[in-house]
């Protein structure tokens, strides 16, 4: 059922908030053992739903009255365990609400629980959680993707009305693609990061995962906007961009950068074919135009992303020294987190900073500019969200291949632009996501376009 429809039903008291929440809790209780998407249940959810039912009776309930959501475990929800799926913060109970949580609670949405994820959001498969792998409800022997693995799997498994994730290099869009749900990565700064435990603060953004684009839009419109607690958050200027004209869609030309160094290329023909077919279908139906476009620096994304990620992550984790929060991170974290801390420490050294970090920042500017120019010609760009299918559990994957899962998603973070993944079909029964990108600040326009792809 569409979120709007459910909200209407709850408001008219055809469905109580308590019933809605109890149904989800029951579903989680029955199925989470198989999926491992949820790490902690909110023990007060039913009580909170009763209070919302009272408010509905008194005619003073908010816009999301009685709607249940699941939160990635790196977003602070007061009183709940917010451990980033790490032993380091195993017992850390949040002492305050992140700004996004405040906004959603103000509208009387109800937190159902905290989601599994890759440890500290540093991953793309959901396998690096200290509390076990998240299974993919849409392809049960395969990874759910990551790092917002539990958020995407929760939506796919019917554990909630929507979920929150964070996206630094693809962590909302990647698992959305693998699990066959919708995931929106807003423009950098469109949503406050206050209360998000950061992976890489100049790239991180919080966004919704849901069953439809319209549901994502509803949540995005509530969580977006300026927050005095996040200096880079943007004042939201309502734009009147509409899709009532001929939209020009750019599709990056592939085959232009054939000699890829990595063992898997982002040019999986089957996935691209599926995506192109879908774009053609939508364009024809709406009388939109498709043009091939050349993105020269498509293959620069990963090399640019990781130095920035490592350095900022290293710096951000210095607070986890075992004194104020949890355990000392180096003594308690998993392999990937340690790799980034040690790597980040190394390339933060004065003698290397110029060579790697500052160079990466320069490359980021080049990518930003290339996208700015592209959006003068095309209003949106379309491509696969992930250029390969999710691997099976236990399959040995090199670090390079793991990083390359995000070849096509890191670009939006580097360019600070909004991106969305919508389901586009299946290959061998496994969901494939189509990614659409728009210029910075055009998030609502992007959502309008994405609706035509459903």
Kindly state whether residue 435 participates in binding ligand GLN, applying the rule CB under 6 A: no
- Binders of ligand GLN among residues 191 to 210 (CB under 6 A) are 199
- Looking up tokens 């569409």, which residue turns up? 2
DSSP state letter for 109: -
Nearer to ligand GLN, 20 or 76 (CB): 76
x/- site string to ligand GLN, residues 267 to 306, per CB under 6 A? ----------------------------------------
Nearest C-alpha neighbor of 197 from the set 169, 168, 233, 227: 168
Question: How far apart are the C-alpha atoms of 209 and 158, rounded to whole Å?
Answer: 12
Which residue intervals of 260-319 are DSSP H helices? 269-286, 301-316
In 119-179 the beta strands, taken as DSSP E runs, fall at: 162-167
Question: How far apart are the C-alpha atoms of 176 and 149, rounded to whole Å?
Answer: 8
- Closest CB to ligand GLN: residue number: 171
Nearer to ligand GLN, 194 or 378 (CB): 194
For the chain, report the end-to-end CA distance as a whole number of angstroms. 15
- Part in contact with ligand GLN (CB under 6 A); list of ranges 103-111, 168-176, 222-230, 375-383: 168-176
- Part in contact with ligand GLN (CB under 6 A); list of ranges 152-160, 166-174, 283-291, 371-379: 166-174
Q: How far is the CB of 168 from ligand GLN (least distance, A)?
A: 3
Q: How far is the CB of 8 from ligand GLN (least distance, A)?
A: 34
Exposed, middle or buried by CB within 10 Å (0-12, 13-18, 19+), for 183? Answer: buried
Q: How far is the CB of 216 from ligand GLN (least distance, A)?
A: 17
Tell me if residue 212 is catalytic: no
x/- site string to ligand GLN, residues 113 to 152, per CB under 6 A? --------xxxx----------------------x-----
Kindly state whether residue 168 participates in binding ligand GLN, applying the rule CB under 6 A: yes
- Looking up tokens 């620069």, which residue turns up? 300
451: tokens are: 């609706």
Question: How far apart are the C-alpha atoms of 447 and 223, rounded to whole Å?
Answer: 15
Kindly state whether residue 406 participates in binding ligand GLN, applying the rule CB under 6 A: yes
CA atoms within 13 A on the CB side of 283: 19
**Residues in contact with ligand GLN by the rule CB under 6 A:** 121-124, 147, 166-171, 199, 309, 406
Q: Which residues are catalytic?
A: 72, 147, 171
């Amino acid at each position: 059922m569409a979120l709007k429809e459910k909200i209407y039903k709850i408001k008219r008291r055809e469905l109580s908030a308590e019933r809605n929440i109890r149904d989800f809790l029951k579903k989680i209780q029955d199925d989470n053992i198989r999926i491992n998407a949820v790490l902690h249940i909110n023990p007060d959810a039913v009580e909170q739903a009763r209070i919302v039912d009272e408010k509905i009776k008194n005619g003073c309930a908010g816009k999301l009255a009685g709607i249940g959501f699941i939160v990635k475990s790196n977003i602070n929800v007061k009183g709940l365990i917010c451990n980033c799926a790490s032993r380091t913060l195993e017992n850390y109970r949040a002492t305050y609400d992140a700004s996004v949580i405040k906004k959603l609670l103000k509208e009387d949405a109800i937190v159902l629980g905290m989601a599994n994820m890759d440890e500290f959001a540093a991953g793309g498969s959901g396998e690096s959680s200290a509390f076990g792998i998240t299974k993919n409800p849409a392809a049960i022997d395969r990874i759910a993707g990551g790092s917002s693995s539990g958020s995407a799997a929760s939506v796919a498994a019917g554990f909630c009305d929507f979920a929150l994730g964070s996206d630094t290099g693809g962590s909302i869009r990647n698992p959305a693609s693998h699990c066959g749900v919708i995931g929106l990565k807003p423009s950098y700064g469109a949503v406050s990061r206050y209360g998000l435990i950061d992976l890489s603060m100049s790239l991180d953004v919080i966004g919704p995962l849901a069953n439809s684009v319209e549901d994502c839009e509803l949540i995005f419109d509530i969580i977006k906007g300026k927050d005095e607690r996040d200096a880079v958050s943007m004042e939201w200027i309502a734009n009147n961009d509409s899709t009532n004209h001929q939209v020009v869609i750019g599709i990056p030309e592939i085959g232009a950068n054939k000699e890829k160094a990595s063992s898997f290329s982002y040019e999986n023909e089957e996935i691209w074919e599926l995506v192109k077919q879908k774009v053609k279908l939508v364009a024809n139906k709406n009388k939109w135009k498709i043009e091939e476009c050349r993105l020269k620096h498509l293959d620069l994304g990963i090399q640019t992303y990781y130095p920035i990620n490592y350095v900022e992550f290293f710096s951000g984790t210095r607070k986890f020294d075992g004194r104020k929060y949890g355990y000392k991170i180096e003594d308690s974290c998993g392999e990937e987190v340690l790799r980034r801390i040690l790597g980040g420490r190394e390339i933060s050294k004065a003698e290397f900073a110029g060579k790697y970090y500052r160079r990466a920042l320069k490359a980021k500017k080049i990518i930003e500019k290339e996208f700015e120019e592209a959006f003068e010609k095309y209003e949106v760009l379309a491509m696969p969200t992930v250029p390969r299918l999710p691997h099976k559990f236990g399959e040995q994957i090199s670090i390079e291949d793991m990083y390359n899962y995000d070849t096509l998603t890191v670009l939006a973070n580097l360019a600070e632009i909004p991106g969305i993944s919508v389901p586009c079909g299946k290959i061998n029964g496994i969901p494939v996501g189509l990614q659409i990108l728009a210029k910075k600040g055009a998030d609502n326009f992007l959502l309008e376009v994405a609706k035509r792809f459903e």
